[in-house]
Structure 1
């Protein structure tokens, strides 16, 4: 059974996940005004391709668009049955998307530790 929290609690969990990133990398995120957006689920307007229920978040942005990480709250909650699992999954998703922000592909992400 999915574990649900309020949007405010989810935002607190996401902010705490960012705090696990070393300060030197967090400063780069702040300098670029990277946004973290919480959505209950994916919408077609977010991306051109379809986003299935297994996608927990994504990074988008570029020269012409604001850089942002979108966390799909209901998608993440679907995989969690306790608060601890939710915290772990949000943290993993934030770190995964931050790695994409820094230009890492999926192979690089598996080999890199972003937590301090």
Structure 2
């Protein structure tokens, strides 16, 4: 496998395209979330993306005055497992959907069952 070389700008375009593919009714439900691109996952982990925050299912009446939840998509780990730009686009879409699902309280086990592992 040969890692894909891609500029950060092009990668960010693919993340934007992935967001555009999410149904609008779901995007409207995203609440207090920012989506970021970083080159590498923390501490040498091989993460493709990560959701940090309070899922909608965990927010109670006391939820408020908190920093936005963060969905981070990691460029280099995704590029390292892909051979083509089309594979990168697919992996970015799967990762974006996967992390958005965590915002809605869907866990990894259920995501794997649904094919969004």
TM-score by length of 2: 0.80
> Which of 89, 98, 115 is the equivalent residue of 2:100?
98
Matched positions, count: 105
- The offset of 1:8, in angstroms, is 1.1
Listed as ranges, the gaps of 5+ residues in structure 2 are 55-62
Whole-angstrom distance in 1 between the partners of 2:4 and 2:14: 14
In structure 1, the partner of 2:69 is 67
How far apart, in 2, do the equivalents of 1:75 and 1:112 lie? 23
Please point out which of 79, 85, 88 is paired with 2:87.
Answer: 85
Across the aligned residues of Structure 1 and Structure 2, the Cα RMSD in angstroms comes to 1.9
Map of 2:39 onto structure 1: 40
Larger radius of gyration: 2
Task: Give unmatched runs, 5+ long, in structure 1.
Answer: 45-50
Give the counterpart of 1:52 among 45, 59, 62.
45
Aligned residue for 2:25, secondary structure, equals helix
In the other structure, the counterpart of 1:48 is none
- Alpha-carbon distance between aligned partners in 2 of 1:90 and 1:20, rounded to the nearest angstrom: 11
Q: Go from structure 1 to structure 2 and tell me whether the alpha carbon gap of 1:86 and 1:71 turns closer, same or farther (over 3 Å shift).
A: same
Please report the TM-score for the alignment, with normalisation by the length of structure 1.
0.80
Listed one character per residue, the Cα deviations across residues 69-107 of structure 1 (whole Å, up to 9, x for unaligned) are 101100110000100000000001001101111100122
